[in-house]
Structure formats: structure tokens, C-alpha cells
Amino acid sequence: MAYDADAITVLKGLEPVRERPGMYIGSTGPSGLHHLVYEVVDNSVDEALAGQCSRIEVTILPDGACRVRDNGRGIPVGMHRDYPDKSALEVVMTVLHAGGKFGGEGYKISGGLHGVGVSVVNALSRRLEVEVCREGGRFALTFVDGGKPVGEIRRIGDSSTTGTMVTFWPDGSILEETDFRAQTLVERLREMAFLTRGLEIVFRDERPSEPVEHVFCFEGGISDFVRHLNASKEALHSLIVSFREEVGEGEVDIAMQWNTGYYEGIHSFANNIATTEGGMHEEGFKKALTNVLNKYARAKGLLKEKEDNLLGEDIREGLTAILSVKLRNPQFEGQTKAKLGNTEMRSIVEKATNERLAQWFEEHPVDGKIIVSKAGQAARARIAARAAREATRRKSLLESAGMPGKLADCSSRNPELSELFIVEGDSAGGSAKKARNPEFQAILPIRGKILNVERARPDKMLKNEEIQALITAIGAGIGADFDLSKARYHKIICMSDADVDGSHIRTLLLTFFYRQMPELVKAGYVYAAQPPLFRVDLGKDTHYLKDEGALERFMGEHSNRKIDPQRFKGLGEMDWEELGATTMNQATRTLLQISVSDAAIADDVFSVLMGEDVDARRTFIQHNAKDARFIDI
């Protein structure tokens, strides 16, 4: 085949989005589907950041479409100077990188990482309708089949208000999922409301199965966010530390509160975008936090002259903090554009924190003493944990090849090809060893339910035999010592029974990975196996069905037929050939990749699921039980 000038294809308009949707929305699965909603809502939030919008309504309509309405200024509807035959509204909806956020004065501060926004939503919808109220009129434009306009913009009436309403029907020919999950949207919209003080966000689900309405409006802003995240924890002090500084055309907004737990939860944002990889603003905050607390402890005699300074990790143990900055031209770095690179923000945040936090400690000496005492306990636990880690390393060196005795390792030494199955119980472990491909699949059996690390300090955790085996087998360390490049497997698969106990074991393992090896989860190395719950024999054919829902659908499809399903009580009940064919064979298995799309929401979920608050846990399970297929955080 000739490779010449004619072989070069130019994708026009919105074609690139339909050709490579993952580049624009991350995936064509559930996370990509919900990302479409966030793209539309982000436009409305930007209107609120510009002081032009006070209310956003997000509605899932009975037919499964999503509608987003705001009372902002309304997208301009006049003819565009660069496209004389098109309205500005049509340009915004059909041209990538078109909008009011690229150098003009329409928005001084705006979110959106890539500037593709609502045009991508249009590209990935089978139908999209937009209505704009402005300049005394109501204007409408409809698109079908991935962004093709149906006629031209038309005035459909008069209006005394302003605003934009976008209704879209996701395109099932491109997206794997078109069924919105209410709870996913509720969690994200609540977060957006926390980050935009005083903005009212209304969510409605009008689908007949479960009509619901939530109204979010937080006059306390991120202070209310901290209060929400700490609701399932025991606060160390009642008052929330909060301060806000105007900086040129932007601002620094910080709120924090310590709790009695053992993990830090610092969640940073720039222009309402979650900076999960941190950045300059987070560096400045952490440096100032360590500096202020050590100075205060020395000045008040809470830290003796001969004692070493407290480390940042000691001070941040049990800290929940929200750091939100607004700036004119944010620069995002990192593979996922989740790290703020503006160097000036480091000194701005550091200066504000140094001054305002020092003042808070002076004004609240009782709380200050409690916080310093907590950090001192963390320092002592850190020293004990280091000794425990050293003991684990020494023990590993004495054992054969430095690996746990019960690990059946694979022969491959290429981490990218290697898989580690963590299997509960000796019976299932034995079957898994027979079913595996020993070239690249390793098996680590564990006994029962591992320690709940949400309620244990690192020094206690490191004495647990099962956790020691996990740490040694993976080989990348834990906590501050974790090094992703040393991970011995790039697929770590939690394989537990498809019942309540199995779900609990899987959640304990995920809690351990999220709290002690978060980089492993962020890199996409952690998976949950999907063993079937049922086997159905129809004639000579055998069918394996994942859960009750799959069985119901199967029975509906074969309602002239007599069906006698066999329910597996556990992995140990399967013979090794069945386990291999359904759960381990790369060609026939299904794996659920565990992702952390939003760290603050994940932090909240793990605290509720694995913390001390029984009522909060019961409520969470009741709300989410029917959505078990979405249990990846």
C-alpha cells in the first residue's frame, strides 16, 4: 500500500472526538459518561466564579437524558466574526477549543483542563438541544448524530431572564454506558458546591425507578467541606481553622481540622479542578504548616530544646484540609494534568499560611496544645514503625529469595507482564495455583480478613503477618517509603468470593492499598477479580453468570426453557478448571480496574466504610447496595 500525500487523513470538526473519545473524556465507560455532565456543569460553575450565576440545576430526565440549566449570562447568540455564516452559539457547540476563556475578558478565572468542554459533549451525544435566554429573547439550536446542527439558531420566544440550558442524550454507539448513576453525580456536585461558596446546585433524578432531589448550597464553603469529610471521624478540636486571602485577581482559601485518625487528607484544588498530584500551592502549604507548628511548639515549651523538630508527616497525621486557589492563568502539569505548576503560588500560599495559621494558634492555645500533642504521638509511632519496617526487611532477607513462604511466584521478572492474585483461603489458593499460568501469574493466599488499617497506626499494622506478606510480595515499600518503580507486578488482583464476606475482604484490601500504597491505585495497578456467582447448564452449553442481575436477564432470555442454576458459595467450590476459565484466563476473564478519580470523595468513602461510625456506614451501604457494579472508588 502506497504511503504518500493521499494517505494523510484530516479529521474535521468533531470527528477527532468520535474517533478517539478516550483522549477527551478519559474512557468510554462509566467515568467517561459522567465526565460529560461535568463538562457542561463546569461551564455554569465558571459563570458563578465570574459572579454571574447563583443557581445550577442538573436533572436526569425520565428517558435517561441529562439537562443542565443555569441562570448565568447565556452563551452569546450573535454571528461570529471568524465564522460569518454561524452564530457564536453554534461555534461554541461544534468547534474544539472555542469559548470565552482564551485570552478575552469573558472570564478572569475559569476551570476546564483542556478547553474542549461542551463541544465534546455534543460530539458524543446522539442528540443535543441548547436553549439560551439573553438580550430579551429565547434562542434554540438542536444537534443530532454527534454534533450536526438541525437548521440554524432560531428565536423561539421572549425572556426577561438570562441563562443557558443544555440537554443531551449520550451516544450508545460510542459509549459503553449511557445509564447515569445518581450517587456518582450527587458526590461530585456536592463537591462543586463546597468549592463555590454560596452557589446553589440542585440535582434531580426523574427516572421512574427512584425519583430523588438534592439541594446543595454551602455559605461556609470549604469549611463546610472539611466538616463533611470529618463527619465520620472523631474531631480533635471543635473549631475549624479557616482563612481566605485575596491575591491580585485570585485568592487563596484554606480550611483544616485535625481528627483522631492516622491518615492525612489534604485535598487541593486550582480553579475548582482537583489537583490530585499536588503542585506548588500544596508545597507552600505543607512547608508553612511544618514551620508554624514547630515554632509554636518551641515557643510554648511543648517541644523541649533537646528534642528533634516534628516532621511534616507527624504534623499532618489525622489532618483533613482543603486548599483551594483561584488564579488567572493556571498551568497544569503531570500525565493527568492534575498538578499545579505556577511557581508564584508556592510563596503566596506559604506566606498566607505562615501569617494566618500562627495567628490562629496564638488565639486558640488549648486547641494548639492538643494538636502538638497529637503530632508528638505520631512522631513516636513513626519511630516505632521504622523499627517494625526494619524488622520486616531483616526477616525478608533471611527467608528464601526474600519472599513470603506462601507466595507461589511467577517465573517472569518483567513487572509489566506479571500478575499477583491475592486469594482468600487455602482451598481457593490451591485451586488458583493449579489454574494459573506460572510464567506470569503469582498466587498469594491470605488467611481470613486482614487488619482494618483505617483504625490502626502503622507500627501496629506492620506487625500483622498478612500485611507483612503483602508488602514483601509487592516489593515497593509503604507510606512515605513507597516507590512505584519497584513494584514487582503491574496487575495486583484481589480475588475473593462473590458474597458479603468476600466483598468485605476485598474492601479491607482496597483500604490497605488506598491508605498505604495510593500510587499503586492511581497508576491503575489494582484490580478486583469478577468470579461468577452462578453456573447454568443448558443442554451441552455451560454459562457462568456474574450476579443476581445477570441471572435474571439470562432467565428472561430463556423463559421457554427449564433452568436450574448452581450457586457458588465460594471460590473453593469451583474446580480449578472452572476457576481458570472464568476468573484467571486472560482471554475469558473480566477484571474491574480500581481507580481514584476524585481523592476527596474516595477519602470520604473509605472513612465511612471502614471507620467507627456505624450509622454512617449503614446509610452508605443502603444508598449504594443496588449499585454494587460501581463499587470501584
> Does one domain contain both 547 and 508?
no
If we measure between CA atoms, which residue out of 459, 470, 381 comes closest to residue 424?
Answer: 470
In a domain, 602, yes or no: yes
To the nearest 10 degrees (0 to 180), the angle between helices 465-474 and 365-398 is 70
Nine-digit cell string for 445: 493466599
d(CA 583, CA 591): 8
Residue ending a domain, among 521, 542, 567, is 567
In a domain, 596, yes or no: yes
Nine-digit cell string for 308: 528533634
Q: Which of 25-29, 346-350, 378-382 has the lowest mean pLDDT?
A: 25-29
> Does one domain contain both 233 and 205?
no
pLDDT band at residue 603, thresholds of 50, 70 and 90?
low
Residue 591, pLDDT > 70, answer yes
In a domain, 201, yes or no: yes
pLDDT band at residue 125, thresholds of 50, 70 and 90?
very high
Residue 129, pLDDT > 70, answer yes
* pLDDT for position 150: 93
The sign of the torsion formed by the CA atoms of 23, 28, 31, 32 equals: positive
* pLDDT for position 596: 72
pLDDT band at residue 99, thresholds of 50, 70 and 90?
low
> Does one domain contain both 490 and 541?
no
Structure confidence by residue, pLDDT tens digits, 148-197: 999 889 999 999 999 999 999 999 999 988 999 898 899 999 999 999 99
In a domain, 504, yes or no: yes
d(CA 343, CA 349): 11
In the predicted model, what is the mean pLDDT of the chain? 84
* pLDDT for position 502: 76
Q: Is 308 considered catalytic here?
A: no
* pLDDT for position 592: 83
In a domain, 387, yes or no: no
d(CA 320, CA 230): 7
> Does one domain contain both 261 and 333?
yes
With contact defined as beta carbons under 8 Å apart, do 517 and 482 qualify? yes
Residue ending a domain, among 325, 350, 381, is 381
> Does one domain contain both 521 and 372?
no
* pLDDT for position 2: 46
Residue ending a domain, among 567, 592, 615, is 567
Report the b/e string of 448-472 with b at 16+ CB within 10 A.
eebbbbbebbbbbbbbbebbbbbbb
> Does one domain contain both 560 and 589?
no
Residue 397, pLDDT > 50, answer no
In a domain, 7, yes or no: no
> Does one domain contain both 423 and 491?
yes
> Does one domain contain both 437 and 305?
no
With contact defined as beta carbons under 8 Å apart, do 633 and 509 qualify? no
Query: At a CB cut-off of 8 Å and minimum separation 6, what does 323 contact?
Result: 252, 253, 254, 266, 267, 268, 269, 281, 282, 285, 349
Q: Residue range 66-91: average pLDDT?
A: 88
Q: Residue range 403-414: average pLDDT?
A: 86
* pLDDT for position 183: 86
In the 8-state DSSP scheme, what is residue 580?
I
Rg (CA), the chain: 27
Instruction: Residue 438: give the domain boundaries.
Output: 399-531+574-630
* pLDDT for position 114: 41
Structure confidence by residue, pLDDT tens digits, 456-497: 777 778 888 888 889 989 999 888 788 999 999 999 999 887
d(CA 261, CA 40): 37
pLDDT band at residue 631, thresholds of 50, 70 and 90?
very low
> Does one domain contain both 538 and 487?
no
> Does one domain contain both 136 and 169?
yes
Q: Which of 27-36, 78-87, 104-113, 137-146 has the lowest mean pLDDT?
A: 104-113
Residue 79, pLDDT > 80, answer yes
With contact defined as beta carbons under 8 Å apart, do 409 and 475 qualify? no
Number of domains in the chain: 4
> Does one domain contain both 443 and 517?
yes
Q: Is 426 considered catalytic here?
A: no
In a domain, 4, yes or no: no
Q: Residue range 33-52: average pLDDT?
A: 91
Residue 5, pLDDT > 50, answer no
Catalytic residue among 501, 552, 575, 577: 501
Percent of the chain with pLDDT over 70: 85
d(CA 408, CA 429): 10
Q: Which of 65-69, 316-320, 393-397 has the lowest mean pLDDT?
A: 393-397
Q: Is 497 considered catalytic here?
A: yes
CATH of the domain at 495: 3.40.50.670
> Does one domain contain both 491 and 558?
no
Residue 633, pLDDT > 80, answer no
Catalytic residue among 42, 497, 598, 632: 497
Q: Which long-range contacts (CB under 8 A, 24 or more apart) does 516-522 make?
A: 516/453, 516/458, 516/461, 516/478, 516/479, 516/482, 517/474, 517/476, 517/478, 517/482, 518/596, 519/482, 519/484, 520/474, 520/476, 520/482, 520/484, 520/487, 520/492, 521/594, 521/595, 521/596, 522/276, 522/596
CATH of the domain at 191: 3.30.565.10
Structure confidence by residue, pLDDT tens digits, 533-575: 888 988 888 888 887 778 888 888 888 788 888 888 777 778 8
Q: Is 424 considered catalytic here?
A: yes
* pLDDT for position 122: 92
Residue 273, pLDDT > 90, answer no
In a domain, 65, yes or no: yes
* pLDDT for position 105: 53
Structure confidence by residue, pLDDT tens digits, 421-433: 999 877 788 889 9
Catalytic residue among 46, 224, 253, 424: 424
